[in-house]
Amino acid sequence: MSENNQLRDVFEAIADPTRRRLIRLLAESEEVPLHELSAQFQMGRTAVSKHLTILKEAGLVLDRKVGRETRYRLNAAPLRVIQDWVAFHSKLWSSNMFRLEQLLEEEEK
């Protein structure tokens, strides 16, 4: 479990292309009902709902009931874990490439 006490790892949650598409759709709107999200996919509401549950368990999606309808919205804060991971590895690779360039320049002398 992560430091945010999430039930599911954010990396695992975004690994699926359908869930990444759901995140994109939710990022484009404030709140979206399940039936509108389901209309964007060639799968039933139950399948879309299962993907939303995984995103919800990772803290990426929040939901609320409005009458008989469930509306979903994005909570992008957990994506910070991914941003931090990419930034760390990007810095690591930049450092390694700089050292490689130095070694290659030294060999040319």
Say if 92 falls within a structural domain: yes
Angle at 20 between CA 17 and CA 26, to 5 degrees: 140
Say if 1 falls within a structural domain: no
**What average pLDDT does the segment 52-77 reach?**
96
Say if 89 falls within a structural domain: yes
**Residues 7, 57 contacting (CB under 8 angstroms):** yes
* 43 phi and psi angles, rounded to 5 deg: -150, 165
* 41 phi and psi angles, rounded to 5 deg: -130, 155
Say if 94 falls within a structural domain: yes
Q: Residue 104 belongs to a domain with what CATH number?
A: 1.10.10.10
pLDDT at 93 over 90: no
**Residues 22, 55 contacting (CB under 8 angstroms):** yes
Structural domain count of the chain: 1
Residue 68: what pLDDT?
A: 93
Q: Which domain holds residue 22?
A: 10-108
